[in-house]
Structure 1
Amino acid sequence: MRSTAATLFVSLLALSLSVGAVSAQTVDGGRGSLPLQVPESYDGDSAVPLVVTLHGYTSSGAGIESYMQYGDLVDSHGFLLVSPDGTRESGGDNNRFWNASKACCNFMDSTVDDSAYVLAIINAVKSEYNVDPKRVYLIGHSNGGFMAYRAAYDHSDTIAAMVSLAGAASTVDRAAPANPVHVLQIHGTDDATIGYEGREIGGNAYPGAVATVERWAGYNGCAGEGTAGGTRDLESEITGAETTATRYVTACTAGGSSELWSIAGGSHVPSLSSTFNLEVIGWLLAHPKP
């Protein structure tokens, strides 16, 4: 288990970088103030989307922002953005983590309720800003992807859509959530940390990318096999449009769909292309609650 933790640390260490200046606004979900990026066009009269990004194991809110660069799109796309920090471990290297599933990445058996914390952050922002209740979104990387699935399942009445990069569902053995949620899994086929085909960490199994999206397609009432959804260039160090999309959108319950973007040859921490953030934010904003 600790060897896996060490692998996660090495693969995500590059993400623990500080970001540039963020807007002065802050919000407190119960664990201290968090920077909140607010679009210049925000006037309080028109409701705007909210995006919450969840970092990977050992990283931070600043780290995922530095890596994915969603803050660059706050003004042009008109959404609120908050990137919280996970809890630090009580032992070992005191790494930050999210208590998302048995597999990843609560290695110290903490009882912290991070699903409730994610909801508390959302509610704190709603209490101070005019958030569109139909456009509350989650994005997570690795452990943060596991956490996004967990929070989307637990709070399906609140979350419209979520994106996981190199994470996995933590609820495949549970009944469907109360409400449909649009989900997008992005995963490198050569991910050696969170396997594309699924694996286990510390004896706790997690599903692969295909199994994850198929399970959520079932949750969302989608029928039939996945269909081709085109190609994209999401990895800057792999030539051409290396990413293929598989979409589960047939006969889905309103407000739900499931999609997989497979990065052929992609690793656990892909070198993201200049359009990655645009593709992800564009997908989210196109998937509100009904």
Structure 2
Amino acid sequence: MRLNRWRAVRAVTAVAALMVMVACGSADNPRPSASPPALPASGTGTVEIGGRQVTVHVPASYDRARPAALVVGLHGYTSDAKELESYLRLTPESDRRGFVYAYPDGSEDDRGERFWNATDACCSFSDPKPDDSAYLSGLITTLQEAYRLDRGRVYLIGHSNGGFMAFRMACDHADQVTAIVSLNGASWSDPARCRPSGPVSVLAIHSSTDETVAFTGGDIDGNAYPSADATVAQWLRLDHCATTGRDAPKLDLVTNLPAAETSVRSYTEGCADRSVVQAWTIDGGTHVPQLGPGFAPAVTGFLFSRARPAR
């Protein structure tokens, strides 16, 4: 896969974000500072943490007497945090469900494109290669020090390169991460690269006709990434789940496809520590599907169905 495909995705993402709005740290310092400046007590604010911009939304219902959940949103290659939020629209869900919501910017590569160094396939295409796994782990710790957060309800959601990064965080930091959602991302091609210290619940959403991260797997500049089925199978093994799943009612998540275009298969039998793996397939979906109003409630509903004692 050539890099110009990713640049085309940037343009499509920006258009999708605009349609949504109309319709409705540095590589040398991967761990954020423990004392970031001026984090908002309520509402939305953007601060620099570890040399990178991080936007944090704190709902009006936040109360230090009650630990809140944390959701971290991860943008795709060539995108940024602001564009991700205009696409996913998670802020209203933060207000409705009462979670603290953070969405950071990745580093800039030598082309000026923002990225996460998630796997060998995606998407650090030049040196230096930042330790984004350490950076995001440190960001979670920083937010836990600034707010009263429930360490058993820490969630990540990412699109494209951000989806790859969400899988990477589940592999590396299962002690911090309760559950993830990946939209058109993939895990490591080599399963040996992913050795979580415990189970992490996973929702893997894939478009069946994704033109950028192929449903059947492929490579990016010669580095392989697994298919949708292989990604799910990898997490069934890691979470010790049985391979027999159950189908649930289809969902209507995308505006430009016929109603209930997304099939849902859930794997719960045998999964360790009450974890779960779900596979959602957007039939006829593209790499940047036109998400409808049902998407944000559906994915946050999955995340909030998963909780565990902090490790």
What is the TM-score with the length of structure 1 in the denominator? Answer: 0.93
Q: Distance in 1 between matches of 2:152 and 2:186?
A: 24
2:164 aligns to what?
Answer: 146
1:51 alignment partner, one of 46, 66, 71: 71
The aligned runs of 1:8-157 (5 Å cut-off) are: 8-14=9-15, 23-25=43-45, 28-90=48-110, 92=111, 94-157=112-175
2:181 aligns to what?
Answer: 163
Query: Please, what is the CA RMSD of the aligned residues?
Result: 2.0
Q: Distance in 1 between matches of 2:45 and 2:115?
A: 25
8 Å Cα contact 1:16/1:60 also seen in 2: no
Q: Helix, strand or coil: the match of 1:117?
A: helix
1:24 and 1:177, CA in 2 relative to 1: closer, same or farther beyond 3 A? closer
8 Å Cα contact 2:52/2:104 also seen in 1: no
Q: Please report how far the alpha carbon of residue 42 of structure 1 lies from its aligned counterpart in structure 2 after TM superposition.
A: 1.0
Q: Please report how far the alpha carbon of residue 121 of structure 1 lies from its aligned counterpart in structure 2 after TM superposition.
A: 1.2
8 Å Cα contact 2:52/2:107 also seen in 1: no
Q: Please report how far the alpha carbon of residue 13 of structure 1 lies from its aligned counterpart in structure 2 after TM superposition.
A: 3.9
Report how many aligned residue pairs link the two structures: 286
2:243 alignment partner, one of 224, 234, 239: 224
Q: Please report how far the alpha carbon of residue 5 of structure 1 lies from its aligned counterpart in structure 2 after TM superposition.
A: 3.4
Kindly provide the CA deviation profile for residues 64-90 of structure 1, in whole angstroms up to 9, marking residues without a partner as x. 100010001112100000110010112
Q: Please report how far the alpha carbon of residue 217 of structure 1 lies from its aligned counterpart in structure 2 after TM superposition.
A: 0.8
Kindly provide the CA deviation profile for residues 89-137 of structure 1, in whole angstroms up to 9, marking residues without a partner as x. 12x3x11000011111111143201111111111111011000000000
Q: Distance in 1 between matches of 2:218 and 2:52?
A: 35
8 Å Cα contact 2:236/2:243 also seen in 1: no
Kindly provide the CA deviation profile for residues 31-57 of structure 1, in whole angstroms up to 9, marking residues without a partner as x. 245221111111211000000000001
* Structure 2: unaligned runs, 5 residues or longer: 22-41
8 Å Cα contact 1:29/1:120 also seen in 2: no
Q: Distance in 2 between matches of 1:229 and 1:87?
A: 38
8 Å Cα contact 1:248/1:258 also seen in 2: yes
| Aligned residue type for 2:272 | T
Q: Please report how far the alpha carbon of residue 228 of structure 1 lies from its aligned counterpart in structure 2 after TM superposition.
A: 1.1
Q: Distance in 1 between matches of 2:16 and 2:180?
A: 21
Q: Distance in 2 between matches of 1:33 and 1:54?
A: 13
2:273 alignment partner, one of 254, 262, 268: 254
What is the TM-score with the length of structure 2 in the denominator? Answer: 0.87
1:267 aligns to what?
Answer: 286
2:224 alignment partner, one of 201, 205, 216: 205
8 Å Cα contact 1:166/1:188 also seen in 2: yes
8 Å Cα contact 1:12/1:56 also seen in 2: no
1:245 and 1:88, CA in 2 relative to 1: closer, same or farther beyond 3 A? same
Q: Distance in 2 between matches of 1:198 and 1:180?
A: 24
Q: Helix, strand or coil: the match of 1:191?
A: coil
* Structure 1: unaligned runs, 5 residues or longer: none
